[in-house]
Amino acid sequence: MTYEQALAQAKKIGAGKTEGLPLLAITCKAISLAHAINPKLAYEGARKLGLDANAVRRLDPIAIGDLTFV
């Protein structure tokens, strides 16, 4: 599922009920505001590394930035 598809799915489901890849997309989008990263690249990096939304939330700021270069 692409980042755009995951965001669309999350919008359809509702943020409070979202899980899986849509939740990962929302998490990357929210984190991007605080860390000035590209949320799409962070989402794709997290997918390549097999990280879920909870794992991404636990990353330190440097590791979050590194997701965009995976």
pLDDT at residue 57 in the model: 93
pLDDT at residue 17 in the model: 86
pLDDT at residue 44 in the model: 96
Q: Which helix (DSSP H) or strand (DSSP E) does residue 55 occupy?
A: helix 53-58
Which of 9, 34, 41, 33 is CA-nearest to residue 22?
A: 9
58-66: long-range contacts (C-beta < 8 A, 24 or more apart)?
Answer: 61/35, 64/31, 64/35, 64/37, 65/35, 65/37
pLDDT at residue 15 in the model: 72
pLDDT at residue 66 in the model: 93
pLDDT at residue 18 in the model: 87
Q: Enter the pTM of the model.
A: 0.84
> Where do the structural domains in the chain lie, given as residue ranges?
3-69
- Intervals of the chain under pLDDT 50: none
Which of 49, 48, 58, 51 is CA-nearest to residue 24?
A: 51
